Amino acid sequence: MDVESHLRSFTRRDWEEPIDDGPVRFAMVGLGWWTREMAIPAVADSDYCETTVIVSRSKEKAVESTALADSIEHGLSGEEYHAGVAADAYDAVYVCTPNAAHLEYVRTAAELGKGVLCEKPMEASVERAREVAAACDDADVPDMVGYRMQTEPAVRRAKELIEAGVVGDPVCVHGHMSQRLPEIFPDTGHWRYRRELSGPGATIMDIGLYPLNTARFLLDADPVAVQGATHSSHDAFEDVPDEYAAFTLQFPDHVYAACTASQNAYRSSHLKVVGTAGEVTIEPAFFDRQDRRLTLRSGGTTVDHAFEQVDQMREECDYLGNFLLTGRKPSPDTEHGLVDVETMAAIYDAADRGSVVTLE
């Protein structure tokens, strides 16, 4: 592989195909800060999508929020959405609620025959995540889980470099993600601190998932065994075990991924894959609206690549939009997302037991 020319067109959309019509019209479900400040603006800028409907538990909030973009035609309550109100006004549904509410909104979208973009993690438990995947499968709708990293150019270029053998056979992965959630959400009643809405934990489920899923994507493999360790001490994390977390993923061929995550540490993220013949590092790796940097070392040379940053959420929406408009099945789909929920459940279990947990 000619690494230099490969990296020159860094932000190319290797997935993009020409389209005739469009845009894909989205119903946005859940009006938290991510939907309001990230998703709706990204879709407004996108090539292939627009927001036409927003859905909130509160009808009043939904109606008020129709002002968030010119394209928005309807503000619906949850009940109206589930009843199929204004279903002709959208083609796909973006579900960005607390984890434990994904299932009900995905199920309705599937029943209505809409495309599904479900935020990560897919649901709060393995059982419910299975139902999310089954709902999409039964209705045969196009489905995707919102892993921004899989459409991030730095990650896609890293994957291509790995697949071209530039670092040899991958041997190990290091990944980390941390932020100070109590500064972002000081209210200890916030849903991420609550098991019934978040799932088994606040950290691995929300941000430990980034090194986990990105390692899976880069290695094109799923973990076969996990180890874990978790601890909470701050009041906000009283209901969840993992203010601090460390976990080891064992991939096929004994490729180990050493991961850490914390919802109460300095904002930091990195991902590194070391192989037999080189290594590729992305740092910072995972946060949106942050300059990313890719460093490739192979043989005796180092390529430290700064590049034009993309709006990750726009990239993700355009990716899905392009797939839907060209009639292609998008990935990562809900079957892929289910593996993460299963893996995270195994990590929490391993941390509880203090022993290795194997995955099927």
Q: Are 271 and 162 in contact (CB under 8 A)?
A: no
Among 279, 298, 173, 262, CA closest to 223: 173
- Provide the 3-class DSSP secondary structure of residue 239: coil
> Minimum Å distance from CB 338 to a copy of itself?
25
Nearest CB to a copy of itself, comparing residues 190 and 293: 293
Instruction: Considering the complex, state which of residue 86 and residue 172 has its C-beta at the smaller distance from a copy of itself.
Output: 172
Least distance from a copy of itself to the Cβ atom of residue 36, Å: 25
CB 339 within 8 A of CB 151: no
Q: Does 229 bind a copy of itself (CB under 8 A)?
A: yes
The token pair that represents 279 in the structure block: 């290594």
Q: Show the site string, 169-198: x = touches a copy of itself by CB under 8 A, - = not.
A: --xx-x-x-x-x------------------
Residue nearer to a copy of itself on the CB measure, 156 or 272: 272
DSSP secondary structure string for all residues of 242-259: -SEEEEEEEEGGGEEEEE
As a whole number of angstroms, the distance between CA 90 and CA 297 comes to 46
Of 24, 161, 167, 219, the one binding a copy of itself (CB under 8 A) is 167
Q: Is 355 in the site for a copy of itself (CB under 8 A)?
A: yes
Q: What is the SS3 assignment for 12?
A: coil
Of residues 238 through 267, those in contact with a copy of itself by CB under 8 A are: 244-246, 248, 250, 254-260, 262, 264-266
Q: Which residue has the tokens 């036409």?
A: 52
Query: At its nearest, how many Å lie between a copy of itself and the CB of residue 187?
Result: 20
CB of 204 to a copy of itself, least distance (A): 13
Order the strands of the 143-145 sheet from edge to edge: 74-77, 49-56, 24-29, 92-95, 115-118, 143-145
- Binding to a copy of itself by CB under 8 A, coded x per residue (else -) over 266-305, reads x-x-x-x-xxxxxx-----------------x--------
Query: Which of 311, 295, 1, 303 has its CA nearest to residue 152?
Result: 311
Q: Which residues contact 273 (CB under 8 A, 6 or more apart)?
A: 158, 162, 167, 170, 172, 173, 215, 218, 219, 279, 280, 281
Least distance between a copy of itself and beta carbon 216 (Å)? 16
Closest approach of a copy of itself to the CB of residue 339, in Å: 20
161 contributes a contact to a copy of itself by CB under 8 A? no
Q: Which residues bind a copy of itself (CB under 8 A)?
A: 167-168, 171-172, 174, 176, 178, 180, 225, 227, 229, 231, 233, 244-246, 248, 250, 254-260, 262, 264-266, 268, 270, 272, 274-279, 297, 353-356
